[in-house]
Each structure stands twice: as structure tokens, then as C-alpha cells.
């Protein structure tokens, strides 16, 4: 029987991403509060990380040999929670309690409340700095584990991101791989209208990162990029993933208004039909 983790079977990974999207939408509809568009845009990336590339043990979340994942765009918490549930960190039934008072599945991830969450995130711009610190600590401990960090494109308008980019390059953190989820939209509209981040690839290369640009919904491209990143020596790796906000559901795709709006019951039914 094939393990649910560390599979390079592209069809298998696509199926896991499809399942994740359905569970994300179900929990958001039940909650009536949360972030739809950015959770769906990054689903394929996170599926590849947890079901293929990352070393992790759901039955031992604090295992020293694990790779670390930092969800810098913490508002995409439904994506992380669904992934942790489907990889076995907790029972899937807990997904029904998203954002309830006292529930471990808060609106932004809390490392104090839920196994598998490395660090509490959601204050945008800070995740890459955290990832840098973890990567440096692992290197000092001679621990070969790797650190993966997912940022939003609107988030890279924060100045701290670029301080962290400079630091990671300066310290040659080749155990660090970051993604930017380039879905082109943020809560106030198009990123290019709010604060243009282009030419984004040139910027990361100028800051000394090994930089790859891929289709963030092409599972083969994601897997290949992760493999290449692991071979890079002497510098951190940035994977710029071009994505679609609300990917997988036609009436959510490419719409900024679904940044922080959850599906209605009727929309959920239609969405599940599209994804089934």
C-alpha cells in the first residue's frame, strides 16, 4: 500500500489537492468566517510540500528531524488546518470547529493550541524572518532539516520581507526555501494597483536568492522546483508560483472580493460539484 506521505505520484498529489480544496470550502462555509481565495490559490503548493517533499511525522509533531513549514500568510489558516488533518495530525472532524471560541483552529494559526503549527502567524511580513531564524538554528545544531515558508504576494509589500530576504542571502541559508503565492490580488484589489511588486523575479535574484518561476497549479512543476531547491548550495531558494485566487471554483477564481468571504451553502454545493 502506498504511503500517504512522500509520494512523487503526480496523479496522487493532484487528488490530495482536490480533496483539500473540498475540505477547505466545507469548513469555511460552516464557520461563516475566514479566507477563501488565498487558501485555494496555494493548495497545490502545500499539497506538494506535505504529501511529497517534507519530512514530518504526524504521530510525533516535535520530531527533531522534521522539516519546518512557516505559513507567513497566516490568514490562509484553513489551508494549513486541512493539510494537517488529512496528513493525520488530528481527526478531520475538528475542522468543523474553525474560529469557534476556545477551539484550537483559530482564525490564524496558533502554535500554542495545535500540534503541527510551528509558529503563530498572521501579522503579515514576519514569517520569512522567523524562517531565517529557524534555518540558522538548525545549521548551528548541525541538523540537516529544511525550512519552507509560504508568503502572499501582497504580503511582500511589507519592508520586513526585504530585510529578511537580504539576511537570508547574507547568511547563505541554503536550507531555506520560500514560495510567493502570486495570485495577483489582495484584500483591497490588484496588487499592482495597491503597491506594485514587479519585477518580482528580478528583485529576489538581486537580493541573492536562487529564483525559480513556475505555474503554481502545475503539480509536476511544483515537484520539480522543490527538487531543484534542495540541490542549491550557498544561497536560499525562492519559488515564485503564479496562481489564481480561488483556484478550482470558477465563480471564485480571480475575484478579490472572495479574499475574506466564505461560501454560502448554495455556493458550497456548486463548488463541490465542480471539484468532484
Measure the CA–CA gap between 36 and 46, rounded to whole angstroms. 15
101/41 Cα distance (integer angstroms)? 27
240-252 average pLDDT score = 98
C-beta separation of 90 from 170 below 8 A: no
| Cα atoms found within 13 Å of the Cα of residue 265, Cβ hemisphere only | 1
- Cell numbers at 75, concatenated: 490568514
- For residues 17-24, average pLDDT: 98
How is the chain split into domains, by residue range?
A: 10-269
Contact between 77 and 34 (Cβ < 8 Å): yes
Under the banding of pLDDT at 50, 70 and 90, the label for residue 4 is low
What percentage of the chain carries pLDDT values higher than 70?
A: 99
Q: 48 CB contacts (<8 Å, ≥6 apart)?
A: 13, 219, 222, 223, 226
Q: For residue 32, how many other CB atoms are within 10 A of its CB?
A: 12
All cell numbers assigned to 55: 519530512
Q: Is 170 exposed, middle or buried (0-12, 13-18, 19+ CB in 10 A)?
A: exposed
Closest CA to 105 of 124, 86, 78: 78
User: In whole numbers, what is the pLDDT of the chain averaged over residues?
Assistant: 96
Percent of the chain's residues with pLDDT above 90: 97
CATH architecture of 10-269: 3-Layer(aba) Sandwich (3.40)
Mean pLDDT of 90-107: 95
CA proximity to 120, closest of 161, 77, 170? 77
Arithmetic mean of pLDDT, 35-59: 98
Edge-first strand order for the sheet with 176-182 is 68-71, 147-152, 176-182, 237-242, 210-215
Which range is least confidently modeled, 3-7, 130-134, 159-163, 194-198?
3-7
User: What is the Cα–Cα distance from 175 to 231, expressed in whole angstroms?
Assistant: 10
pLDDT of residue 156 exceeding 90, the answer is yes
Produce one character per residue of 111-125: b if its CB has 16 or more CB atoms within 10 Å, e if not.
Answer: eeebebbbbbbbebb
Q: 164 pLDDT exceeds 70?
A: yes
Q: How far are the Cα atoms of 53, 157, 162, 212, 256 from residue 191, in angstroms, in the given order?
A: 30, 9, 17, 20, 10
Residue 1 pLDDT > 60, yes or no?
no
Quote the pLDDT of residue 6: 84
How many Å apart are CA 194 and CA 154, to the nearest integer? 9
pLDDT given for residue 5 in this prediction: 76
Could you read off the pLDDT of 107-134 as tens digits, one per residue? 999 999 999 999 999 999 999 999 999 9
What is the SS3 assignment for 152?
strand
Amino acid at each position: 500500500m502506498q504511503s500517504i506521505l512522500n509520494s512523487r505520484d503526480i496523479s496522487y498529489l493532484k487528488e490530495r489537492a482536490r480533496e483539500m480544496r473540498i475540505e477547505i470550502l466545507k469548513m469555511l462555509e460552516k464557520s461563516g468566517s475566514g479566507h477563501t481565495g488565498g487558501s485555494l490559490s496555494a493548495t497545490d503548493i502545500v499539497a506538494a510540500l506535505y504529501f511529497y517533499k517534507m519530512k514530518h511525522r504526524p504521530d510525533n509533531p516535535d520530531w527533531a528531524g522534521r522539516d519546518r513549514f512557516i505559513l507567513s500568510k497566516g490568514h490562509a489558516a484553513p489551508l494549513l488546518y486541512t493539510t494537517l488533518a488529512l496528513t493525520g495530525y488530528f481527526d478531520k472532524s475538528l475542522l468543523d470547529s474553525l474560529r469557534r471560541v476556545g477551539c484550537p483552529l483559530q482564525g490564524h494559526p496558533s502554535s500554542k493550541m495545535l500540534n503541527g503549527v510551528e509558529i503563530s502567524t498572521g501579522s503579515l511580513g514576519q514569517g520569512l524572518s522567523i524562517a531565517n531564524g529557524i534555518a540558522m538554528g538548525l545549521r548551528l545544531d548541525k541538523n540537516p532539516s529544511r525550512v519552507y515558508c509560504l508568503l502572499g504576494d501582497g504580503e511582500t509589500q511589507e519592508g520586513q520581507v526585504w530585510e529578511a530576504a537580504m539576511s537570508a542571502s547574507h547568511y547563505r541559508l541554503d536550507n531555506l526555501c520560500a514560495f510567493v503565492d502570486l495570485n495577483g490580488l489582495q484584500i483591497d484589489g490588484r496588487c499592482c494597483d495597491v503597491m506594485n511588486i514587479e519585477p518580482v523575479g528580478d528583485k529576489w535574484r538581486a537580493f541573492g536568492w536562487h529564483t525559480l518561476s513556475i505555474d503554481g497549479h502545475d503539480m509536476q512543476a511544483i515537484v520539480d522546483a522543490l527538487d531543484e531547491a534542495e540541490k542549491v548550495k550557498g544561497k536560499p531558494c525562492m519559488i515564485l508560483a503564479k496562481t489564481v485566487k480561488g483556484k478550482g471554483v470558477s465563480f471564485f477564481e480571480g475575484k478579490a472580493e472572495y479574499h475574506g468571504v466564505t461560501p454560502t451553502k448554495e455556493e458550497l454545493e456548486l463548488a463541490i460539484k465542480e471539484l468532484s
